[in-house]
Structure 1
Amino acid sequence: MDLELLYGRGTLPLRLPDELSVTVIRKPAMPVLPSAEEGVRAALAAPVAARPLREEAAGKASACILICDITRPVPNRLLLGPLVRELLEAGVPRAGITVLVATGLHRPNQGAELAELVGDPWVLATVKVENHDARDDAAHLDLGRTAAGTPVKLDRRFAGAELKLVTGLVEPHFMAGYSGGRKVIAPGVAHKETITTFHSSRFMAHPKADNCVLAGNPLHEEQLAIAAMLGRVLCVNTVLDEERRLSFVNYGEVVASHAEAVRFVERYAIVRVPRRFRTVVTSAAGYPLDKTYYQTVKGMVSPKDILAPGANLVIASECSEGMGSKEYVAAQERLLALGEDGFLAAIAEKRFADVDEWQTQMQVKPMKLARVHLYTRGLRPGDRALTGVHLVDSVEEAVLASVRASGDPAVAVIPEGPYVLPVYAEA
């Protein structure tokens, strides 16, 4: 069988012998909007729990539009031009409009990368486009604390804007249930102290802090609480199919519109599988998600429900930018030094997480269930050991070795990686 895994800006061919019993796990065919541009216009004309954007913006002196950073393939080129034009036509002064990259604690997006992210030269030339900096104390407004005690400090460019607008991609997220909406606010434009509080071990270890789970998910609940402290927030949500074509778009009040988008995407993203496997192959979803090993962890976590005891999990990720942040490297070094249980014990009582150590905490979940194998061409030799997993030179050879060791010819392949959530459900 010939397959292709999403890898980098293209695909990685995967050729498996015909004698294997291969189950390919992917989303059902999704509807694709015949005209993405017309779909955006229609969404803006049919708001969810809101007025048309031009009415919402009338009389406002300032507006801030949040966009996700380069790690999310949000179709900004389709969204930002129409949104900025609506604001200008509503009378919002050009100097009062800011497009803010919601980096969270990730690095800023600049130069050619920023141009790629925005996707519209007119927007770059017309309004301010800036990056959030979670470590800049003076750049944030202190809004108090949530009922759970999380300090809420948000970028003042967004928190102080008269009109607040969020854009994003709604997809499974291995901690927050689904991405987009309220998540673009926090952690997107939150202060380091806010992020490291609700990304601490006590939140991450909660059984509901998982893919496609919103009810009872402590991260989701904190994000909703933080968004509520801002007052009225509007949102444009998008959903893409496996080929990154626009399948769904809506606009409206941030909570209501995001919930509608979730209802749409969960019909496709959650795929029920009638058995568990000793050999599972997946990807990190290709560019831009597989730019770093840090982001690759999402692909490791998603298939955990279909891993049989003692399984081998093989993941392909380009890691074109290496490991990720220096703080994440430090967390991986602690994992190697302390072991899985020692690492979890060391972070269990922290009020504030160390930056990016939550990704290492999440990596331990699949490591407890399976032996993880990584295929990559992007990591430097000195970084390979920091992954904490087994590096392989060939996905095919890793699959055949797993089949030989287990004696089970059944192999599951998830070409789209973390954008699909396989769930074990007995036939």
Structure 2
Amino acid sequence: MKLEFGFGAGIQTVEVPDENVMEVLHANQVEHGLTGEDEVRRALLAPIGAPLLKDVVKPKEKIAIVTSDITRPMPTYVVMPPLLDALFEAGVRREDITLVFALGSHRKHTPAEMKKLAGARAYEEILCIDGDSSDCVHMGVTSRGTPVDIVRVVAEADRRICLGNIEYHYFAGYSGGAKAIMPGVSTREAIQSNHSQMVKPQACAGRLSGNPVREDIEEAGAICGIDYIVNVVLDENKKVIMAAAGDAVKAHREACRFLDGIYRKEIPRKADIVLVSQGGAPKDLNLYQTQKALDNAKHAVRKGGIIILIGSCKEGLGESVFEEWMTQSPDAPSMITRIQENFQLGGHKAAAIAMMLENADVFLVSELPDDLVRKIFLEPKTSAQEALNCAFERLGKDAKVLAMPYGGSTLPCVAD
């Protein structure tokens, strides 16, 4: 069987003997109607748990629209035209709308990147800026002790509209909803406080109820105040096939249920070898983002198995603290001890990789230098095919292979 995995702007091709293929996890086929901008318009005309947008916003109010940065596949350029039309219909002026890119702990954008993300119309008609976490307003503290320190332009707006795409998140349960606020436009200290809950077993992909990270995120969102969300679900080709608009929690939950119908994948047992990719750019720009696919793959590999992680990582490791932990730690287990003793944002993903390595070996197919890959406790391979051949040599020619071409989206669940 010939399999293809996204790798930056290109692909990695792998030939797997048919008898070794256990399963290839693609999205389930679900019925859907409209797509793209048409689906966003439909959602705005049928909000969930909230009135129509024109009955929420008022002329002369300052509107902050918070959306994802370049590391996410969120098609802001698809959502903005219908959203701007709805705001203009409500009498909101162009000069009163600001589109804020939620950087979290990520790098700033170039003007060209902003224009590409926002779309030409939004970029030309309204102000588009990166969130500046050095200029925040303290709005309160959650019951778990997380400071709600929000980027000023968002905190001081009269209305806040949060955009996002829904996919599984390895400790927040799902992306989207109030996540645009926390961690999107929060300080590093606030993000660190929230993410410190990730070490609890209830903080895992696909879980909302009882998930301490998600509950803290939504409490922060409520303290800040979210007037509306527009969340979308994408198919494997990154096309909008479902949109949910309205209440920050109720609309988010509806989108999560739709996502489960597509991407929650039941498997009969764990595999010897898992081939996994984020699906290519922009989700595999760096190892910090590519790690999400690795974390989903851990649910599909047996103890002592091998995960072959396929991702360009052309921008390197992707985050300074993460890089320090990965390159300066004496061994992988020490990172687990370190996160338990002193939680650090960035270090949390290094610890997640270390916990993964307790269960399985990881072969990395990337554009990173081999010496760097070895230094961070992974095994470099020049191609996905070479990696698979090496995995068969180590585990035997009868090893069973499970493939996850869109590993950041698909969540394997072993059948009860």
Asked if these proteins are the same fold (TM beyond 0.5), I'd say: yes
Please name the residue that 1:343 is paired with: 335
Amino acid at match of 1:36: G
Superimposed CA distance per residue, residues 232-256 of structure 1 (whole angstroms, 9 cap, x where no aligned partner): 4210010011111221111101111
Task: Check conservation: 1:294, 1:359, Cα contact below 8 A.
Answer: yes
Of residues 142, 146, 156 in structure 2, which corresponds to 1:146? Answer: 142
Please name the residue that 1:187 is paired with: 183
Amino acid at match of 1:405: R
Task: Check conservation: 2:335, 2:354, Cα contact below 8 A.
Answer: no
Please name the residue that 1:104 is paired with: 104
Return the alpha-carbon distance in structure 2 between the equivalents of residues 311 and 37 of structure 1. 43
Of residues 186, 192, 196 in structure 2, which corresponds to 1:196? Answer: 192
TM-score (norm 1): 0.93
Shift in Å, 1:381 = 5.2
Return the alpha-carbon distance in structure 2 between the equivalents of residues 125 and 382 of structure 1. 45
Return the alpha-carbon distance in structure 1 between the equivalents of residues 227 and 341 of structure 2. 34
Shift in Å, 1:32 = 4.9
Shift in Å, 1:269 = 1.4
Please name the residue that 1:129 is paired with: 128
- Does 2:413 match 1:417? no
Gap change, CA 1:236 and 1:265, over 3 Å in 2: same
After TM superposition, list the pairs within 5 Å mapping 1:259-408 onto structure 2: 259-335=253-329, 337=330, 339-350=331-342, 353-376=343-366, 378-380=367-369, 383-407=372-396, 408=398
Return the alpha-carbon distance in structure 1 between the equivalents of residues 373 and 394 of structure 2. 24
Specify the SS of the correspondent of 2:47: coil
Return the alpha-carbon distance in structure 2 between the equivalents of residues 276 and 182 of structure 1. 33
Task: Check conservation: 2:8, 2:311, Cα contact below 8 A.
Answer: yes
Amino acid at match of 1:55: D
Specify the SS of the correspondent of 1:6: strand
Specify the SS of the correspondent of 2:29: coil
Instruction: Tell me the C-alpha RMSD between the 2 structures.
Output: 1.7
Superimposed CA distance per residue, residues 312-369 of structure 1 (whole angstroms, 9 cap, x where no aligned partner): 110100112111122221121243x2x233222223233xx43411111211232111
Shift in Å, 1:110 = 1.7
Shift in Å, 1:410 = 1.3
Return the alpha-carbon distance in structure 2 between the equivalents of residues 379 and 176 of structure 1. 28
In structure 2, runs of 5+ residues without a counterpart are none
Gap change, CA 1:262 and 1:425, over 3 Å in 2: same
Shift in Å, 1:90 = 1.7
Task: Check conservation: 1:59, 1:92, Cα contact below 8 A.
Answer: yes
Return the alpha-carbon distance in structure 1 between the equivalents of residues 192 and 57 of structure 2. 33
Specify the SS of the correspondent of 2:298: helix
Amino acid at match of 2:183: P
- Does 2:199 match 1:205? yes
In structure 1, runs of 5+ residues without a counterpart are none
Amino acid at match of 2:124: A
Return the alpha-carbon distance in structure 1 between the equivalents of residues 370 and 132 of structure 2. 31
Which of 26-35 and 144-153 deviates more?
A: 26-35
Task: Check conservation: 1:60, 1:162, Cα contact below 8 A.
Answer: no
Superimposed CA distance per residue, residues 249-271 of structure 1 (whole angstroms, 9 cap, x where no aligned partner): 11101111101101111122110
Gap change, CA 1:144 and 1:23, over 3 Å in 2: same
How many equivalent residue pairs?
Answer: 415
Amino acid at match of 1:367: L
Return the alpha-carbon distance in structure 2 between the equivalents of residues 40 and 384 of structure 1. 42
Shift in Å, 1:31 = 3.8
Percent identity at matched positions?
A: 31
Please name the residue that 1:236 is paired with: 230
Superimposed CA distance per residue, residues 187-214 of structure 1 (whole angstroms, 9 cap, x where no aligned partner): 00001110111122xx121112111111
Please name the residue that 2:151 is paired with: 155
Gap change, CA 1:372 and 1:382, over 3 Å in 2: closer
Return the alpha-carbon distance in structure 2 between the equivalents of residues 240 and 35 of structure 1. 10
Gap change, CA 1:319 and 1:232, over 3 Å in 2: closer
